[in-house]
Amino acid sequence: MAVDVVWKGNEYTNSSDRKGQAPLIIVNHISAGSMSSMDSWFTSPDNKVSSAHFGVSKQGTIHQYVKLERMAWAQGITADRIATAPAAIVRSKGINPNLYAVSIEHEGLDGELTEQQFVASVALHRYIQAYVADHWGYTIPFDREHVLGHFQIDPVRKASCPGAKFPWKQLYSTLSLPDKRHGGADSVEEQLKQLQTLVTDLKGRLAWLESQHQLQEVPIWAKASVDKAVAQGLVYTPTPSSLDFYRMLIVLDRKGLL
């Protein structure tokens, strides 16, 4: 299942230069309104205050308003509050968090997501992680330091974004699972089966490689020694054997042991 991202941004959508910063965190928001009002606000010529990279509707559709290469105006805080932000990364970076954030708005009011919306949001988190890894060579970790809520950046004005009902636990645990869409094994049995196939395959290759080292005829230079060994009943079937075997017989012969 490819992630279906619909481009909705226009020339009025607010965005700025990232000033060389790579996206390091994903910040989750609740839109406190409908998807259509989100679409029209983020593309309105009257909006000079806010934007987000993505919006996820209750039906699970994903809209994009700002390219990931640009910064969206989603969680700006005044410079004096950066030092006291709950999120450690915001305090340690010490700059406008929009510069290194990717923001996701969710259609809704209190953070409760529909099943389709949750699934789409998880897929979007993975899409963002892959996109950032491709373009910046950095993999955003799916942990509590890098997948954040707006309240962890701005606890004063945005204490209830994305809302009390936002499914944090479910989000982190789902993001920690292998991505099934990319052929990840989804159970221990499945992983075991894959390993068994690999071992069988390797055994076959090993047998083939070994067979390549078996000579089907006694080399001329070893013939006299091999004949002696056969005559003495030391060797019953001189072929197929390895070069080392014939060399060993020659050594024994030269030592007068045959």
In the complex, the residues that contact Zn ion under the rule CB under 5 A are 29, 150, 161
Decide: 22 and 60 in contact? Cβ < 8 Å.
no
At closest approach, how far in Å is the CB of 95 from Zn ion?
Answer: 19
C-alpha radius of gyration, the chain, whole number: 32
At closest approach, how far in Å is the CB of 116 from Zn ion?
Answer: 21
Specify the residue, 53 or 150, whose C-beta has the smaller distance to Zn ion: 150
At closest approach, how far in Å is the CB of 49 from Zn ion?
Answer: 13
Query: How far is Cα 42 from Cα 170, in angstroms, rounded to an integer?
Result: 29
At closest approach, how far in Å is the CB of 29 from Zn ion?
Answer: 3
Specify the residue, 29 or 238, whose C-beta has the smaller distance to Zn ion: 29
Specify the residue, 28 or 225, whose C-beta has the smaller distance to Zn ion: 28
Which residues, including other chains, have CB under 8 Å from residue 229's CB and lie 6 or more apart? 235, 238, 249, 252, 253, 258
Locate tokens 């490819």: which residue?
2
Specify the residue, 150 or 225, whose C-beta has the smaller distance to Zn ion: 150
At closest approach, how far in Å is the CB of 59 from Zn ion?
Answer: 21
Cα 42 to chain centroid distance, Å, stands at: 30
Specify the residue, 27 or 62, whose C-beta has the smaller distance to Zn ion: 27
Specify the residue, 120 or 153, whose C-beta has the smaller distance to Zn ion: 153
At closest approach, how far in Å is the CB of 76 from Zn ion?
Answer: 11
Specify the residue, 31 or 241, whose C-beta has the smaller distance to Zn ion: 31
* Whole-number Cα distances in Å, 246 to 218, 222, 231, 236, 256: 8, 6, 15, 14, 15
Looking at residue 47, its amino acid is N
At closest approach, how far in Å is the CB of 113 from Zn ion?
Answer: 15
